[in-house]
Structure 1
Amino acid sequence: MLDKINIVDVIKIAMDAGEKILDIYETEFEVESKEDQSPLTLADKQSHETIVKGLLSRFDGIPILSEEGKHISYEDRRKWEYFWLVDPLDGTKEFIKRNGEFTVNIALIHNGAPVLGVIYAPILDIVYFGKEGIGSFKINNAMKSNLTSEAEILKVAIKLPAMKNEQISAVASRSHMSKETEDYINKVRSKFGEVSIKSAGSSLKLCLVAEGKADVYPRFAPTMEWDTAAGQAIVEQAGGTVVHTETRDRLNYNKENLLNPWFIVRREGFIE
């Protein structure tokens, strides 16, 4: 199945959704509240519709689980071998703040594991992607890139990880660091010395680790499966890991409860 999926098609779908988001970004859009009181905008809805339409037209037969269309019973989805896991607008709060740190996330899950991931940041015009068997990559100025074949895109994309820090770097909130995150970073400090702190919105936090700009991202706060699947594919194909904070098992997907456990994202070779 995976070898029949052209990553370029998935990237184009993510970018099409990003264009829909940008059409709304500078308007006076309304903000609704979901059942869990998290924000929802027209951009979330239009991005969802664009992605679902694009995936169904190119990959008919692969089911889709999206944050904006998540009401599918576990009895139905537990039988899925492959499915798309989508967050049409990851970082709606960042979108509302207009700080640019929001993304479109599309992942392909196979038997509970993410084997392909695409993350597009519309304001930054950056694409991150990873696919089992080819690795992980970054494309700057994506709208200007010649996205034709998978072979051609791999010639111009930057292979990840693309750099390594001289000083250990962790992804965390500078202003709202939880006690658990602070304790974890202090543990890293005790082993490596000074630790610099980087901050980013949405799934860009996982991309920082995949890229090599950060060594570790501890997450001691709630996330859902669609928040992390694409990023996990990109991190893992760059040689990193995304693991449960206690068991150190790999994060898996399509659970009955779609809430993720607390987890730690680590670049290749990083052991705290």
Structure 2
Amino acid sequence: MSEINDEALLQIAKDAALEAGEAIMQLYDDGDFESYQKDDESPVTSADYKANEIITDRLKALTPDIPILSEETKHANLHERRTWQRYWLIDPIDGTQEFIARSGDFAVNIALIENNQPKIGVIFWPPGQTLYYALSGHGAFKDSPGDSGPISVRKLDDPDNSVVILAISRRQPRERVVSKLCAKRVYQTLPLGSCSLKSCFIAEGKADAFMRLGVTGEWDTGASQCIVSEAGGAIYAADFEPLSYNQRNTLENPDFIVLGDQSVPWRDIIQY
């Protein structure tokens, strides 16, 4: 089989996300799904498993030589994973709690990680029929009914003083996050569900910053990091160290921050 180029890999990821999203919405609209609890007490549903099956089946068929790491399948150990030059990184439904709560704030995440960094990022928001995607070095884009094209982070008129918009979790205590993220600035808040949707809203200029405290996995940030970076923003660990992919025994992320306009003095503002 000849080598598949990056543009073709991006299209494969987009098609897989759209197909999974269609199946998710059918189960969501019908209410025809079961909810379970994982060993770590986080929720999972039959819709997560169905989306995972659709995505992994498509990727295995079209890119059989690229390994797959998904939240909802058994994870290879680091000894095996460190031999992977590139691999697919998947969260079939980011925001399972929001799916169960019927808030509409959930998304399909697919990333291609190459040499330990996100190369391709695809995030599909099924209820909004909106697809966000990026290929490293080629910019970030959005496909949505009546609103498609390149996206970029919001540029503040006065980076040192302008009011910033914080994407805030519907589920986490906002006082703790705000005290760390923006205690020194005047701010507005925008409540949202999944981590990836908050990141996409920053990438398209609807919010400026987001901090996630607590347990997440590398699949929660891989696609987002590619999209946000290509839109002119950045994702870091909350202490401003780079996030790592496929380099540790654990696949858990540290607390992390997603930041828009890079001319804002975020290091002076954030008190982590």
Do the two structures share a fold, i.e. TM-score over 0.5? Answer: yes
- Report the secondary structure of 1:127's partner residue: strand
Query: Aligned AA for 1:120?
Result: F
Partner of 2:164: 168
Cα deviation code 1:121-155 (max 9, x no counterpart): 1111000001112110111039xxxxxxxxxxxxx
Superposition pairs of residues 42-81 of structure 1, within 5 angstroms: 42-81=46-85
Q: Which amino acid aligns with 2:13?
A: V
Distance 1:186 1:104, change over 3 A: closer
Q: Distance in 1 between matches of 2:182 and 2:94?
A: 29
Residue 265 (structure 2) aligned to one of 257, 260, 271: 271
Is 1:65–1:83's contact at 8 Å kept on the other side of the alignment? yes
Instruction: Map residues 151-162 of structure 1 onto 2, 5 A cutoff.
Output: 157-161=148-152
The separation in 1 between residues aligned to 2:53 and 2:171, in whole angstroms, is 35
For 1:1-272, list aligned pairs within 5 A: 3-6=5-8, 7-25=10-28, 26-141=30-145, 157-161=148-152, 163-164=154-155, 167-173=163-169, 176-177=172-173, 180-189=176-185, 194-202=186-194, 203-246=196-239, 248-254=240-246, 255-269=248-262, 270-272=264-266
Q: Secondary structure at the match of 1:233?
A: helix
Query: CA–CA distance in 1 between the matches of 2:229 and 2:26?
Result: 33
The Cα shift of 1:180 comes to 4.3
Task: Please say if residues 243 and 251 of structure 1, whose CA atoms lie closer than 8 Å, have aligned partners that are also in contact.
Answer: yes
Q: C-alpha distance in 1, partners of 2:69/2:78?
A: 11
Q: What is the number of residues matched between the two proteins?
A: 254
Structure 1 residue runs of 5 or longer lacking an equivalent are 143-155
Q: Could you tell me the TM-score, scaled by structure 1's length?
A: 0.87
Query: Which structure 2 residue ranges, 5 or more long, are not aligned?
Result: 157-161, 267-272
Q: Closer, same or farther in 2 for the Cα pair 1:116/1:178, shift >3 Å?
A: same
Separation (CA, whole Å) in 1 of partners of 2:68 and 2:26: 24
Deviation digits for residues 197-223 of structure 1 (CA, Å, limit 9, x no counterpart): 112111101111111111111222221
CA RMSD of aligned residues (A): 2.1
CA contact (8 A) 1:171 1:200 kept: yes
- Inter-partner Cα distance in structure 2 for 1:127 and 1:135: 14
Q: CA deviation at 1:179?
A: 5.3
DSSP-derived class of the 2:111 partner: strand
Q: Is the 8 A contact 1:135 1:237 kept in 2?
A: yes
Q: 1:176, 1:62 → 2: CA distance?
A: 36
Identity %: 39
